[in-house]
């Protein structure tokens, strides 16, 4: 993840990529494979102790009033149909109820948020990491497409969001001009693509340079607003057009998935003739009240999806198959290819996923293969044209290529893993890279190359060592490309992360199956490092204890996972797979020692529940019976948004039970225990009071 973060910085911040798009896609796919095979990358801590790239350094950092989030992707018509079906399920709509969507081209530009106060443009921010962006107000003022003021009918506060882009013809002319103006044409700096050119132009220190570059803007949404001028997506977009913002000509309102797919095919057919680069079509639910009800999951809205264009293919030769070792020991095969252009991108590597995929394709070095690339997905081999040629089969290694430890495939798993654990240098380095990655500790200046170099030279061996690097300042200054100034900035960046959110802390530990969302749920459930540590201690104790008063089956369950973690399944939405992973991680003394050492250097921040305060904040709620006015998913989302925990069963720790039709044993148990019981109407009043 840190290597990707480093390349994100080169691409998104410096606008100076040093690898090809295909190599970058390879890295992203490798990460996706690890996340898929380890379903939620993880990281946590233990007892005994008390969404783009980061903003450029020369631009001021400003927090977004509302995060600028990403979209989930669809790659087939079936994915779009499932998206609409998911909307119906969440909102509990009938199969024939109309679901209107909007469809528009997905511009390959630089996301930008324009904030108007008193109807004057007061600030322009790039996406940044989604939470904090770069202040590019002076530069945006030079873009003719962007109004400096809104009409008197506009609300007092309104953030318009869209894409800054450079047209394909303007991009070609700019590169030609840069070449002509270069003192040494052989060393002239040229932009790799229109998106990089737009980003580099917008992020200039001197607004006059931005003014000299041909930038455009297309609006597609909004952030924080005092009020909205319409109650549908299409209605607000029409108002934005009336206010003077450019809107994509292909923007359409569609009555259902069928019409949306027809718009997709029209845009796809016209793709080559459009003046700007696009990589798909974005669908959004038209009704804004439904958007509000659907809300978000993870880092993406439930009410929108990006339908990417289909894969492009080409033939090439397979040079070799290499094995990469991941943080959890997963051995991932990667195909090294004769360079080939696929969809305008030179591809040199492709994923082979796992041993089963290699066997299915029958690939061997020397084979002629078909390579596919779709959008930002890493290239993959989809066919072997020479599988029938007489040649020995390629055998998946039985040992780790980095440490020589036995490589095993667990029962029911598709991934072969190195059994060396932290003995394996590759796993130790990957864990450190994950620890400093963007969504973990996010330490600026400590990228993949430096982590690998520092590890190789013995400067760091565990996460806590990172926070002791200041003890090696003299040695660091003497290193190549490391001046006193650079070292000082690195140490300052490390010190700035000594206090970090509990969710980030847990995610950074690299526990299998504990990704960002799970880490956030854990943090919200136990709220403090001390509370989580106590839970782990209790779980480990129960794991080693016999419980004679329960049945044999229940005893086995309790002993394996611990009573505390079983309770977590109900109160934090954690499944047994995660519970097992947590116990397995903390059952190892080495891991406990590593976390304890880390906690001597850093202080995870206690979780402060949502600013929205109500009688639900910090409470445990149980829903039972058939809800008539909203789906169970929607009810849970409402409770989560108000800081409540949703449990699946009633216990003495339950604070509130919401009953629908045909409520049975849970209602009876709640009444027996004297727990407050309300109906849907009362629940709706609580939610309304807390959100108005």
Could you tell me the end-to-end alpha-carbon distance of the chain, in angstroms, rounded to an integer? 40
Residue 224: which of 65, 61, 116, 69 has the closest Cα? Answer: 65
H-run or E-run covering 516: helix 516-526
Dihedral of the alpha carbons of 84, 86, 89, 90, in degrees to the nearest 10: -110
Euclidean distance between CA atoms 544 and 425, whole angstroms? 32
Residue 284: which of 236, 319, 244, 318 has the closest Cα? Answer: 236
Strand segments (E) across 551-629:
603-605, 620-624
Euclidean distance between CA atoms 24 and 4, whole angstroms? 7
Check if the beta carbon of residue 26 is closer than 8 Å to that of residue 342: no
Check if the beta carbon of residue 278 is closer than 8 Å to that of residue 267: yes
Residue 237: which of 258, 256, 253, 216 has the closest Cα? Answer: 253
Euclidean distance between CA atoms 133 and 52, whole angstroms? 10
Check if the beta carbon of residue 81 is closer than 8 Å to that of residue 257: yes
What is the DSSP secondary structure assignment for residue 131, as one 8-state letter?
S
Q: How many helices (H) and strands (E) does the chain have?
A: 26, 26
Backbone Cα Rg of the chain: 27
Check if the beta carbon of residue 236 is closer than 8 Å to that of residue 289: no
Per DSSP, the three-state class of 96 is coil
* Environment class of 596 (CB within 10 Å of its CB; exposed 0-12, middle 13-18, buried 19+): middle
The count of C-alpha atoms lying within 13 angstroms of the C-alpha of 420, restricted to the half-sphere facing its C-beta, is: 24
Active site residues: 106
Dihedral of the alpha carbons of 85, 86, 90, 94, in degrees to the nearest 10: 0
Euclidean distance between CA atoms 530 and 467, whole angstroms? 21
CA angle (621 as vertex; 303, 673 as ends), nearest 5: 160
Residue 254: which of 98, 447, 458, 429 has the closest Cα? Answer: 98
């Amino acid at each position: 993840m840190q290597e990707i973060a480093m390349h994100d910085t080169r691409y998104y911040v410096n606008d100076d990529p040093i690898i090809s798009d295909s190599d970058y896609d390879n890295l992203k796919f490798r990460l996706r494979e690890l996340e898929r095979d380890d379903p939620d990358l993880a990281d946590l801590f233990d007892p005994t102790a008390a969404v783009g790239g980061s903003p450029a350094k020369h631009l001021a950092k400003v927090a977004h009033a509302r995060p600028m989030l990403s979209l989930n992707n669809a790659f087939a018509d079936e994915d779009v149909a499932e998206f609409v079906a998911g909307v119906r399920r969440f909102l509990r709509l009938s199969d024939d109820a109309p679901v209107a969507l909007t469809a528009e081209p997905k511009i390959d530009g630089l996301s930008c948020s324009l904030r108007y106060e008193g109807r004057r443009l007061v600030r322009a921010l790039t996406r940044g990491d989604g939470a904090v962006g770069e202040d590019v107000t002076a530069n945006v003022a030079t873009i003719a497409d962007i109004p400096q003021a809104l009409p008197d009918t506009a609300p007092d506060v309104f953030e318009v969001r869209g894409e800054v882009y450079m047209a394909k013809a303007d991009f070609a002319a700019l590169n030609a001009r840069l070449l002509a103006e270069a003192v040494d044409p052989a060393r002239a700096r040229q932009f790799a693509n229109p998106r990089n050119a737009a980003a580099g132009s917008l992020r200039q220190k001197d607004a006059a340079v931005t003014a000299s570059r041909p930038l455009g803007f297309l609006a597609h949404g909004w952030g924080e607003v005092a009020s909205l001028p319409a109650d549908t997506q299409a209605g607000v977009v029409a108002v934005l057009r009336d206010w003077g913002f450019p809107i994509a000509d292909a923007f359409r309102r569609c009555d259902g998935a069928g019409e949306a797919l027809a718009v997709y095919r029209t845009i796809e057919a016209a793709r080559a003739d459009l003046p700007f680069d696009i990589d798909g079509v974005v669908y959004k639910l038209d009704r804004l009240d439904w958007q509000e009800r659907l809300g978000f999951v993870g880092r993406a809205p439930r009410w929108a999806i990006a339908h990417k264009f289909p894969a492009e293919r080409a033939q090439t030769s397979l040079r070799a198959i290499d094995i990469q070792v991941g943080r959890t020991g997963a051995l991932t095969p990667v195909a090294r290819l004769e360079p080939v252009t696929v969809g305008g991108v030179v591809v040199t590597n492709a994923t082979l996923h796992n041993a089963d995929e290699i066997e299915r394709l029958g690939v061997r070095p020397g084979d002629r293969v078909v390579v596919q690339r779709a959008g930002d997905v890493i290239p993959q081999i989809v066919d072997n044209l020479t599988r029938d040629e007489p040649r020995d089969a390629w055998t998946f290694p039985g040992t780790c290529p980095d440490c020589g430890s036995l490589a095993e495939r667990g029962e029911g798993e598709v991934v072969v893993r190195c059994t060396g654990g932290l003995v394996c240098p590759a796993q130790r380095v990957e864990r450190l890279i994950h620890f400093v990655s963007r969504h973990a500790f996010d330490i600026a200046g400590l990228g993949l190359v430096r982590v690998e170099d520092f590890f190789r030279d013995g400067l760091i061996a565990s996460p806590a060592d990172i926070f002791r690097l200041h003890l090696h300042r003299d040695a660091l200054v003497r290193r190549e490309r490391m001046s006193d100034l650079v070292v000082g900035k690195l140490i300052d960046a490390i010190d700035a992360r000594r206090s970090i959110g509990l969710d980030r802390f847990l995610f950074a530990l690299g526990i299998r199956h504990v990704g960002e969302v799970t880490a956030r749920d854990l943090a919200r459930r136990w709220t403090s490092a001390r509370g989580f540590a106590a839970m782990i201690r209790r779980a480990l104790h129960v794991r080693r204890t016999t419980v004679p008063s329960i049945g044999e089956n229940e005893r086995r369950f309790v002993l394996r996972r611990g009573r505390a973690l079983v309770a977590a399944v109900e109160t934090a939405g954690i499944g047994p797979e995660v519970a097992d992973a947590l116990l397995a991680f903390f059952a190892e003394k080495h891991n406990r020692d590593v976390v304890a050492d880390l906690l001597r250097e850093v202080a995870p921040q206690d979780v402060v529940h949502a600013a929205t305060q109500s009688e639900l904040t910090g409470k445990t709620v149980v829903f039972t019976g058939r809800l008539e006015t909203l789906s169970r998913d929607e009810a849970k989302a409402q409770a989560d948004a108000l800081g409540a925990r949703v449990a699946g069963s009633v216990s003495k720790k339950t604070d509130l039970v919401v009953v629908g039709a045909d409520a049975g044993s849970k209602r009876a148990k709640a009444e027996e225990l004297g727990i407050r019981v309300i109906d849907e109407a009362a629940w709706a009043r609580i939610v309304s009071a807390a959100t108005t």
